[in-house]
Structure 1
Amino acid sequence: MATVWTGASRLPAAPADQGIGPLLRAWRQRRGVSQLDLALRAGSSARHISFVETGRSRPSEEMVLRLAEHLDVPVRERNALLLAAGYAPHYPETPLDDPSMDALRQGMERLIQGYEPYPALIVDATYDVLAANRGIALLLEGVPASLLAPPLNAMRLTLHPEGLAPRIRNLRAWRGHLIEQMTRQIALHRSDALRELYEEVTAYPVPEPGEPAETDVPPAYFALPLCVEHDGHVLNFVSSISTFNTPMDVTVAELAIETLLPADPATAKYLQSRAN
């Protein structure tokens, strides 16, 4: 399976018509930061932060960006804060197929291909698979074509009862990890698309404790393993997710590279033998 790039899904920004005050207050409260703490971090005053939140004062563009940085607001939502304050967006959103993205795409493609025979994939903010290597193709052998039709979605492929779910030996634990991850993303992005995906995958059936999909789970590793059957073998992986440091583009900020590291020598040996 060659690496195949598809278009990234675009999350809508938060509505700007309510003004920056309510948006800023929501982010501050979400982070558990008081007006005084935020003011001290941003070199402002609690009075000014209060005036911004109540609409009595309009912050400068520089102050909006500074507050967003100290509240660790996602890049897309920083643009929303700027729009709500009456300024133009600061961060561009460049399509992945734009020529200016050639170096980025080629670099990520080399990364996931260089990781073979171990699985690696690239997803966007809604968990749509933008690119994957041959290790991922191996795990997806036998998955119905209907689930493999573009756009592939990593959450759907993993948790759908006709996807990988029946082969995952620790499905309840792995499902819980993925649902928690989606919950955090929904809190950050407030996306209808993410919410719909969450409602879809949480409605999939879950095995009861003691059912076949929950038996023979190996002992604990240094991280929660993904234990998946393949051709009579149980393969054990731990997942690592990489994102870009200090992204200056919305598209780049929402890309993630997930690699599945073999959690034991038997898994590594099996994947290496299948690659030969």
Structure 2
Amino acid sequence: MTDPIPLRPRAATSASAFGDLLRDWRQRRRYSQLALSLTADVSARHLSFLESGRSQPSRAMVLQLAECLDMPFEARNAMLTAAGFASLYERTPLGAEHLEPIREALTRMMHAHSPAPSLIFDTYWRVVDANPAGALLMGGTWEPGMCLVDRLVDDAALRAPILNWPDVAAVLMNRLRSESRQAGGDSQLEALADKLAPHAADPLALSAHGAIMTLRYATPHGELALFTMVAELSSARDLTLRDLRLEIFFPADAESRALLGKLAPVKD
């Protein structure tokens, strides 16, 4: 399993760095000073002083405000640093010895899901690992760190078997934009969504496709219908682990289940 590429936290550079970041994130989350002060159980006056740089926060106050603003962990590190404190959340190489049980669990889940596809990627859809069926969906070959969105958009041959590509592109585009909003605005996620936009069907029309959108994938032996679920390490405090996603594909009908067994049989 290959380490995801590190992400760079956003940082402020003005004299009141903490105040600038606090105001920025408060506005991103659409809080007034009064609303945030009530949520964080701090006086509106003190919050105003923190934003203006007239008061300096304690470490506990930084973390309390960051929690109320539901900030990503990298942004919380930036807030702590701006306030003069050490970062709280580390980014450990995925190959680190103490992460072996987590690597083993992810790999076990991914391969136990065969013959259905499964792959592991990071926040920006850079592939970390894949089982044999997952590799088939990527054209049979892939390189660690390859961005799957970039490859799908740039390689017409790779996306050609996806019979409902406009629907898939629309769902993925919406997912990227939603994740960007949760992150408070992420230029890399927005750039990936923008790349998909010319390929995407009208998102408002997707509701006509039933209870769940399925990926319809053409193979030499017939058509696969697949839907996906995403697993995350929701309790992770390490930034590398928080970035990881395990995408698991399931057959949407009996025909697809039988076809998967022919395409990527489970090896003893």
Post-superposition Cα deviations, 1:120-139, rounded to whole Å, max 9, x if no partner, equal 11111221111111221232
Look up the match of 2:69. Answer: 71
2:37 is paired with a residue of what secondary structure?
helix
Once the two structures are TM-superposed, the CA of residue 9 in structure 1 deviates from its matched residue by: 0.9
Written as runs of structure 1 = structure 2, the 5 A alignment for 1:1-276 is: 5-18=1-14, 19-141=17-139, 148-187=142-181, 188=183, 193-194=188-189, 197-198=192-193, 201-202=195-196, 206=199, 220-274=209-263, 275=265
Post-superposition Cα deviations, 1:78-110, rounded to whole Å, max 9, x if no partner, equal 101111111110111111011111111111000
Once the two structures are TM-superposed, the CA of residue 158 in structure 1 deviates from its matched residue by: 3.3
Once the two structures are TM-superposed, the CA of residue 259 in structure 1 deviates from its matched residue by: 0.9
Post-superposition Cα deviations, 1:141-174, rounded to whole Å, max 9, x if no partner, equal 46xx6xx344322212333333532221221121
2:228 is paired with a residue of what secondary structure?
strand
Gaps spanning 5+ residues in structure 1: where? 210-216
Tell me the distance in 2 between the aligned counterparts of 1:208 and 1:78.
Answer: 36
Once the two structures are TM-superposed, the CA of residue 270 in structure 1 deviates from its matched residue by: 0.9
Once the two structures are TM-superposed, the CA of residue 208 in structure 1 deviates from its matched residue by: 8.8
Once the two structures are TM-superposed, the CA of residue 6 in structure 1 deviates from its matched residue by: 1.6
Tell me the distance in 1 between the aligned counterparts of 2:149 and 2:172.
Answer: 8
Alignment-mate amino acid for residue 176 of structure 1:
A
Gaps spanning 5+ residues in structure 2: where? none
Conserved in 2, the CA contact under 8 Å of 1:119 and 1:136?
yes
Conserved in 2, the CA contact under 8 Å of 1:158 and 1:164?
yes
Tell me the distance in 1 between the aligned counterparts of 2:209 and 2:200.
Answer: 20
Tell me the distance in 2 between the aligned counterparts of 1:207 and 1:197.
Answer: 12
Conserved in 2, the CA contact under 8 Å of 1:12 and 1:191?
no
Tell me the distance in 2 between the aligned counterparts of 1:246 and 1:127.
Answer: 21
Which TM-score applies when normalising by structure 2?
0.85
RMSD of aligned residue pairs (Cα, Å): 2.6
Alignment-mate amino acid for residue 268 of structure 1:
R
Tell me the distance in 2 between the aligned counterparts of 1:175 and 1:12.
Answer: 27
Which TM-score applies when normalising by structure 1?
0.83
Tell me the distance in 2 between the aligned counterparts of 1:167 and 1:21.
Answer: 51
